[in-house]
Amino acid sequence: MFLQKLMLRQFRCFNQATFAFSPGLNILLGPNGSGKTSVLEAIFFTCLTRSFRTPHDSEAIMRDKDHAVIKSEWTDFGKVRVTLVRNFGKRVFLNDVLEEKYSDWIGKLPIVILSPDDAELINGTPQIKRQYFDRVFSQISHEYLSTLIRYTKLLKQRNAYLKVKNTRNSFIYDTQLETYDEQMAPLSEKIFFFRQEYFSQLNKALITLFHETDSRKIHVSIEYKSSLKAKDVSYVDTYLSEAKQNIQNEIILKRSFQGAGYDRIDFKRNQQSLKMGASQGEKKMWLICLKLAEGSFIHHYKNIEPLYLFDDLFSDLDIEHTQKLVKNIHHLKEIIITSTDLNDLRQQGVLPESGSFNIINI
Ligand SMILES: Nc1ncnc2c1ncn2[C@@H]1O[C@H](COP(=O)(O)OP(=O)(O)OP(=O)(O)O)[C@@H](O)[C@H]1O
Ligand SMILES: [Mg+2]
């Protein structure tokens, strides 16, 4: 499955534009502000029905216009059309047939993206990390996504109920809370087991990739910890008993403390949190290896190689690391990288022998 063609109408700075892609390495070339990231954003919209830059879909519609259209053609898959209507919503069509549920669409066109905003993934809150990996795991398991949707809906209701109890000065564990927890505990358990397995697979791929690109013996890992404290009893029993123990503090702080919505994910480099000691370049290396690991993880579970979108790939990296990474990039099935200057890419050794890459001038 390859992305062959992308057509944009009234999307960001493009009134009307068409781009042709080919298997292997594609270079999206243009000066600052020419629309490179916007092209990647349109592809991301197509695959995951949302932007990676904003939670507000309407921001991606060209200023002063009321709608945008993203059309794309994929070999062995078909034609996809996404329409965004300002303050109204969006629709996804496959071969002119409306996709009724976005949750069924996620994962059909698997994708891995690296963008400058990913720095937030290292430095930001635990919630950003959870949301990020939920997006990755949802692409490979429909069951993961549907369990997560059900759990998150209940969690929102439970948190709203904690607020109500706070205003009523009621600090007891009542039957309403018990009903929520009995529904949420098995869902949270399911998510926990999925995450345990997925992080273990992802770690294997990450370690292999890291050692291929860095000759120093650095230990890297993603550490995943459940928010539940007790480990020796069954997950559901622990969940229900900790829910009762925590209740006073939860009502005071008006939010839940435990379950899949509060698990911790930490990036480690030589047993230290990546956030703390690592340099800019070391963080960037970590991120690129994570993305490549994500790609092989998706490939492992879905038997489909994802499309890679790499925005501003090699900034902050020295020549040695860049060249080692390049080896891993040249064999990918389809990758689109952005650049402002072809000479930079040439000097970094990113360009293979002439002719075996596709340049798309914006
Ligand atoms: N909704 C919109 N309507 C019209 N133009 C927009 C909209 N949103 C962003 N733009 C403009 O689109 C242009 C392209 O932005 P984009 O971030 O895609 O550029 P880029 O090529 O990635 O730049 P850089 O090299 O600096 O990363 C910018 O000038 C931006 O101001
Ligand atoms: Mg950009």
pLDDT value of position 7: 98
| CA–CA dist 353, 326 (Å, integer) | 13
The residues that bridge with 38 in the sheet, in sequence order, are: none
Kindly report the number of other CB atoms within 10 A of residue 250's CB atom: 22
Cα 329 to ligand 1 centroid, rounded to whole Å: 26
Which has more pLDDT, 275 or 299? Answer: 299
Structure confidence at residue 95 as a pLDDT band (50, 70, 90): very high
Residues of the chain with CATH 1.20.1050.90: 125-303
For range 14-42, the mean pLDDT: 96
Task: Read off φ and ψ for residue 234, nearest 5 degrees.
Answer: -65, 155
CB of 340 sitting under 6 A from ligand 1? yes
Cα 212 to ligand 2 centroid, rounded to whole Å: 28
Cα 38 to ligand 2 centroid, rounded to whole Å: 7
Q: Does domain 125-303 have CATH number 1.20.1050.90?
A: yes
Which has more pLDDT, 27 or 323? Answer: 27
The residues that bridge with 71 in the sheet, in sequence order, are: 7, 81
Tell me how far CA of residue 308 lies from CA of 18, 23, 143, 304, in angstroms.
Answer: 19, 11, 24, 12
Give the closest residue (by CA) to ligand 1 atom 17.
Answer: 37
Average pLDDT of the chain, as a whole number: 92
pLDDT tens digits along 297-351: 999 999 999 999 999 887 778 877 787 788 788 888 999 999 998 888 887 777 7
CB of 115 sitting under 6 A from ligand 1? no
pLDDT tens digits along 72-92: 999 999 999 999 999 899 999
For range 40-50, the mean pLDDT: 97
Min mean pLDDT across 14-18, 124-128, 302-306 is at 124-128
Architecture of domain 1-110+304-362 in this structure: 3-Layer(aba) Sandwich (3.40)
3-class secondary-structure state, position 339 = strand
Selection from 189, 295, 184, 175 nearest residue 235 by Cα: 189
Residues of the chain with CATH 3.40.50.300: 1-110+304-362
| CA–CA dist 194, 39 (Å, integer) | 33
Radius of gyration of the chain (CA): 22
The pLDDT of residue 159 is above 90: yes
